[in-house]
Amino acid sequence: MEQREESFRAADAIRAQGERFEGTGAEMVVEGLLREGADSVFGHPGGAILPVYDALHGAPIHHYLMRHEQGAAHAADGFARASGRVGVCIATSGPGATNLVTGLANAHMDSVGIVALTGQVGLALLGSDAFQEADTVGMTMPVVKHSYLVRQTGDIPRVLHEAFHIAGTGRRGPVLVDLPKNLTAGRGEALWPHGQPHVRGYRSEPPRPTDSELERAVEAIAEAKRPLLMVGGGASKAGAQDEVLALAGALGCPVISTLMGLGTVPTTHPGYLGMMGMHGTPIANVATTQTDLLIGIGVRFDDRVTGALARFAPQARVLHIEIDRAEVGKNIPAHIALVGDVRQVLRRLLPMLQGQDVRHPWLPEIDTEMRPDAESPFGYPRERFTDGRISGPQTVEALSAATRGKAIVVTDVGQHQMWAAQHYAFERPGQFITSGGLGTMGFGLPAAIGAQVGRPKETVLLLTGDGSFQMTLQELATVRSYDLPIKIVIFNNANLGMVRQWQEMFHGERYSYSALWNPDFCKLAEAYGIPALRATQSDEVDGLLRRAVDTPGPVLVDVRQVADENCWPIVPAGKALDEMIVRPSGRA
């Protein structure tokens, strides 16, 4: 151990002097992680990546041993979203690498910067169907921002420097680095790169809209009578909350959010109409159909947001502010496009609005004509059931009250995800961590681990369904091993809830394989050494959840939900936003 520590002290001296580094490829990997500030990584060892794990032994890097490689990828994802830094996951070759694919695809869809390090068989064995060989670069190419197969030991420093740069700049995304074992085990010499890397074909600096493009945007805003701000995940990732709120204030117009944009505009903002889309508020969706200028900020207009494309925002011109030019016009034609970093674009746009007649306060018109009952913004009363049964929205509202709306909320995918989006009182960007584009069940628990590592002083809530939880529940061992104080709340309705709802509504009530047999989640948690609570009656919910939040260390809460409760409202697939279905009278 002393010898290893001496080698790292020597590496510190090399970093300071900018000299050449001589050592094994694995030592170069660890040195590269240290140089990039990656002090926390998530992984699982195996044969082809063992040289790297040997080099990690004694290194000043916190390695979190996950129980499955998919969990490592999701943990790196959650870490990146919570901390704003690039996440790192590590896996071996073959099945280790293939188990990362879902996590890489998830990060790719949601524009999350992670670097995945995978072991690979030696270069001489490539293409021979060697033990645990897989074409990792080939199979992951569609779901990463960039990928590398390292072919020389001396290339490792440059490749890692480039990988972190690509993952963390522009529209963020996952980058894969495949490391043949003969390179990580063998010795080599390299000169550490300094400064910003120059990657052929890659522009790290986002484009900037021209002055004439900005002037066209100002003209469109001045001409509009019913402008509407639509805020997406790109605004949150850009750290543009202040600029978005300043624009909303300058225009005096209402604001809506996509699922990924939640938290950018506080739920208490007077102009905020809530989330829009398939499970959005009726007021937000109706406002979208009536606006004459839709200002999309960091959005990609996916199908769960737009509904039927031909009938989306039918009266509106579209002003699209987006960092990725490929997203402009991909789904919804943009009449005016401002391509660039959202924060910087808004900072240039806002001064140009001063002195212009751009205030269009049509919010009162919406308030009086379209806003539903404030006590039932989603089409149903807050007191869902009078017989003691527990509803999903009640559970989320109780959690929001117990944490005063300040927790980092991580979810899996399904009804509980939508209830969390609808009913938690988010107030800041990065507070809501969920699988948006890929909709990955099993994302929640490992992502919560990463979020807690990335924000160790904050309360992290995991809201998960009984179906999602059972896909990665082995990571309870990781939670316990590192004593991570995550509060795990299981919405236990003994069903794949959203699947069951769709079967009820769109498949003739034929419940094909959506009912679940579940273990006793409390006993399961206790087997992992995690305290557990259970709520079976509605009058228990508030107190139990407050108790869980106030308990030091990890806690699991099994909340027995109504089995046939549906998530309202809903826009059926292929329908327009103004064709949303609210809760039928008498229906759960």
465 with 514, same domain: the answer is yes
313 with 456, same domain: the answer is no
Question: Residue 82 has what pLDDT?
Answer: 98
Q: Where are the alpha helices (DSSP H) in 36-140?
A: 50-56, 69-83, 95-98, 101-109, 136-140
117 pairs with which residues across the strands? 90, 177
Chain centre distance of CA 543: 30
For residues 491 and 486, give the distance between their C-alpha atoms in angstroms, rounded to a whole number: 16
Count of helices and strands (H, E) across the chain:
24, 20
Q: Where are the alpha helices (DSSP H) in 456-587?
A: 466-469, 476-481, 497-506, 521-527, 538-550
For 177-228, how does the pLDDT look when each residue is reduced to its tens digit (9 = 90+)? Answer: 999 999 999 999 998 888 889 898 898 888 999 999 999 999 999 999 999 9
509 with 433, same domain: the answer is yes
177 with 230, same domain: the answer is no
CATH at 299: 3.40.50.1220
Note if the pTM is more than 0.75: yes
Residue 223 falls inside a structural domain: yes
Residue 31 falls inside a structural domain: yes
Which candidate in 27, 31, 36, 69 is catalytic? 69
Residue 377 falls inside a structural domain: no
Q: State the residue range of the domain holding 260.
A: 211-369
**Helices 69-83 & 444-454, crossing angle to 10 degrees?**
40
In this structure, the chain runs to a length of: 588
Nearest CA among 520, 412, 524 for reference residue 477: 524
50 with 131, same domain: the answer is yes
The answer to whether 421 and 471 are in contact (CB under 8 A) is: no
21 pairs with which residues across the strands? 190
Q: Where are the alpha helices (DSSP H) in 179-240?
A: 181-185, 211-223, 233-237
Which candidate in 498, 501, 503, 521 is catalytic? 498
284 with 179, same domain: the answer is no
What residue ranges of the chain have pLDDT lower than 50?
Answer: 10, 13-17
Cis peptide before 531 (omega within 30 of 0): no
For residues 129 and 109, give the distance between their C-alpha atoms in angstroms, rounded to a whole number: 31
The answer to whether 298 and 237 are in contact (CB under 8 A) is: yes
Within 10 Å of residue 379's Cβ, how many Cβ atoms? 17
Domain boundary pick from 161, 191, 221: 191
The answer to whether 491 and 462 are in contact (CB under 8 A) is: no
Find the angle CA(50)-CA(52)-CA(54) to the nearest 5 degrees: 70
| β-bridge pairing 255-257 and 114-120 | unpaired
Question: Residue 366 has what pLDDT?
Answer: 75
For residues 402 and 544, give the distance between their C-alpha atoms in angstroms, rounded to a whole number: 10
Query: Is position 132 annotated as part of the catalytic site?
Result: yes
182 with 239, same domain: the answer is no
3-state SS, residue 114: strand
Q: Where are the alpha helices (DSSP H) in 297-437?
A: 303-306, 342-353, 363-369, 392-402, 415-423
Residue 572 falls inside a structural domain: no
Nearest CA among 105, 98, 83, 173 for reference residue 136: 98
Query: Is position 69 annotated as part of the catalytic site?
Result: yes
In which residue are the tokens 């699947």 written? Answer: 499
The answer to whether 549 and 542 are in contact (CB under 8 A) is: no
For residues 124 and 134, give the distance between their C-alpha atoms in angstroms, rounded to a whole number: 14
32 with 129, same domain: the answer is yes
Residue 385 falls inside a structural domain: no
Task: State the number of CA atoms in the 13 A half-sphere of 248 facing the CB.
Answer: 25
188 pairs with which residues across the strands? 23
143 with 256, same domain: the answer is no
Which candidate in 8, 132, 352, 458 is catalytic? 132
82 with 231, same domain: the answer is no
In which residue are the tokens 């896909």 written? Answer: 471
Nearest CA among 437, 101, 370 for reference residue 228: 370
Question: Residue 356 has what pLDDT?
Answer: 85
Structure tokens at 524: 């399961």
CATH at 72: 3.40.50.970
What H or E segment, with its residue span, contains residue 318? strand 317-322
Query: Is position 237 annotated as part of the catalytic site?
Result: no
Task: State the number of CA atoms in the 13 A half-sphere of 252 facing the CB.
Answer: 12
Residue 579 falls inside a structural domain: no
115 pairs with which residues across the strands? 88, 175
For residues 53 and 546, give the distance between their C-alpha atoms in angstroms, rounded to a whole number: 41
Instruction: Count structural domains, the chain.
Output: 3
Residue 201 falls inside a structural domain: no
Residue 199 falls inside a structural domain: no
The answer to whether 59 and 99 are in contact (CB under 8 A) is: no
Which candidate in 131, 141, 196, 506 is catalytic? 131
42 with 120, same domain: the answer is yes
The answer to whether 312 and 331 are in contact (CB under 8 A) is: no
Classify residue 34 by burial, with Cβ atoms within 10 Å: 0-12, 13-18, 19+: middle
169 with 304, same domain: the answer is no
Which candidate in 181, 301, 417, 487 is catalytic? 181
